[in-house]
Amino acid sequence: MNGTTGQSSHRDRVWSVAEHLDDVLSKIHPLEPIELQLLDAQGCVLVEDVTVPLALPPFDNSSMDGYAVRVADVAGATPEFPAALTVIGDVAAGSGEAPAVGPGEAARIMTGAPVPPGADAVVPVEWTDGGSGQGPAAAMRAHSAAPQDAAGEVRVHRPATAGAHIRTRGSDVSAGESALRAGTVLGPPQIGLLAAIGRGSVRVHPRPRVVVVSTGSELVQPGEALGPGQIYDSNSFQLTAAARDAGAIAYRVGAVADDAETLRATLEDQLIRADILVTSGGVSVGAYDVVKETLTDLSAEEGSVEFRKLAMQPGKPQGFGLIGPDRTPLLALPGNPVSSYISFELFVRPAIRTLMGLPDVHRETLRAECTEAVTASPAGRRQFLRGSYDPEAGTVTPVGGASSHLIKALARANALIIVPEDTTEVAAGSTVDVVPLG
């Protein structure tokens, strides 16, 4: 075998979807953890075990707006024979000093306010006359309108058991307990817990910064007028949105013309803010396939990107490599809009989620009954059709054809239908693999 033959057989090798994905993911690792403010850490993976520094609640407090009383004083109270207690003042939430409640006394108390010393139960205001001397109260009057209600007498109509309507210190969580373990994905309740225990920031794997560059001299920015032979650049918008959706901080770089020097300069500029670079277009076998031209045969210092053929449809031509001083991953996706989106779903999304250290990097694959026949799926290539999946019925219906320029059909689909490499036809009513999107 001479050198030329060796090179061409390498170039002609067809990679399976799984081989390409394994290659990409084997070269990508979770980003170095950093300390982030709580809301910036939303959706990120915690890298530290967090211990509770203080009990929650930090003090015994009322779960009702009402009166802090002594159980013995209200024993046997009824509407006919209420317990009359002297109101010694108000305890509002946030109140640092609470008056001691002695025998025959009550303190008016608000939800969340510390239970004053001497009191061992809270009766809701609805169990009392609210100090009005009339029947049962529905609510307290605002302090600003009726300051006299913080004094005087209150009639309690029902007895209370010890501890009634009191949330005791530590009843949620005790000091020293584990709050969250490393590896937890921080959703709203976890962010809430961290704030409740006084943590302002946490160590997490940050969201990766994804730079999306589309290429093609035919591309025009939406909103501008189209000239002859021109089309709007939809991929950079679609892929930037998809990167955000996957959890990344995404930067869209407008379309770069099919000029190797311009693309090289653009990529060099963008490396500074990229944890991962995604390009669209220019990876097939044409005379103006600028991504391939620019990134093939890089110097050892510049990195290396390999262009390959995959046994899939759409999405056959793909590039992947590591470039720049930090060896930033670059995925070069094909330019056809459906091809670039499906390639993103299959390879970039798991890469982003791996960089985030997330536990589930792949979307779920389900089984569903295909309501229509699929004919002429290419032999030897895994086909990804667009489908409308109905989870209740357990069915999926192909949307549009197999061609990779059908943008409207993609926008109407909510799932991908997978037709395996060795299957060329799917009969209506048979079961297929489905990947719900979104």
Ligand X SMILES: Nc1nc2c(c(=O)[nH]1)N[C@H]1C(S)=C(S)[C@@H](COP(=O)(O)OP(=O)(O)OC[C@H]3O[C@@H](n4cnc5c(N)ncnc54)[C@H](O)[C@@H]3O)O[C@H]1N2
Where does this chain bind ligand X (CB under 6 A)?
214, 216, 218-219, 231, 233-236, 255, 280-286, 289, 314, 316-317, 334-337, 339, 404
Nearer to ligand X, 219 or 356 (CB): 219
Nearer to ligand MOO, 329 or 334 (CB): 334
Q: Report the site for ligand MOO in 336-365 (rule: CB under 6 A).
A: 336, 339
Nearer to ligand MOO, 145 or 376 (CB): 376
Say which residues have a Cβ less than 8 Å from residue 103's Cβ, sequence separation at least 6. Answer: 70, 72, 73
Beta strand 166-167 with 61-62 is antiparallel
Nearer to ligand X, 9 or 78 (CB): 9
* Closest distance of CB 25 from ligand X, Å: 22
Kindly indicate which of the ranges 24-32, 97-105, 265-273, 314-322 contains the residues binding ligand MOO, using the contact rule CB under 6 A: 314-322
Question: Tokens standing for 89?
Answer: 């003042």
Using DSSP's 3-state secondary structure scheme, residue 39 falls into helix
Task: Identify the residue whose tokens are 């015994």.
Answer: 60
The Cα 47–Cα 366 span in angstroms is 31
289 binds, among ligand X, ligand MOO, none (CB under 5 to 8 A by kind): ligand X
The Cα 101–Cα 87 span in angstroms is 9
Specify whether the CB–CB gap between 274 and 328 falls below 8 A. Answer: yes
Q: Report the site for ligand MOO in 399-438 (rule: CB under 6 A).
A: 404
Instruction: Please give the full DSSP string across 219-249, using - where no structure is assigned.
Output: EE-TTSPP-TT-EE--HHHHHHHHHHHTT-E
386 forms bridges with which residues in the sheet?
A: 416
74 binds, among ligand MOO, ligand X, none (CB under 5 to 8 A by kind): none
Beta strand 219-220 with 231-232 is parallel
Q: Is 377 in the site for ligand MOO (CB under 6 A)?
A: no
Nearer to ligand X, 164 or 278 (CB): 278
Q: Is 316 in the site for ligand MOO (CB under 6 A)?
A: yes
83 forms bridges with which residues in the sheet?
A: 156
Q: 314, 319, 329, 357: which one contacts ligand MOO (CB under 6 A)?
A: 314
Q: Is 313 in the site for ligand MOO (CB under 6 A)?
A: yes
Specify whether the CB–CB gap between 349 and 331 falls below 8 A. Answer: no
Q: Is 319 in the site for ligand MOO (CB under 6 A)?
A: no
Q: What angle do CA 352, 355, 356 make, to 5 degrees?
A: 90
Nearer to ligand X, 174 or 403 (CB): 403
Residues at the site binding ligand MOO, with contacts judged by CB under 6 A: 313-316, 334, 336, 339, 404
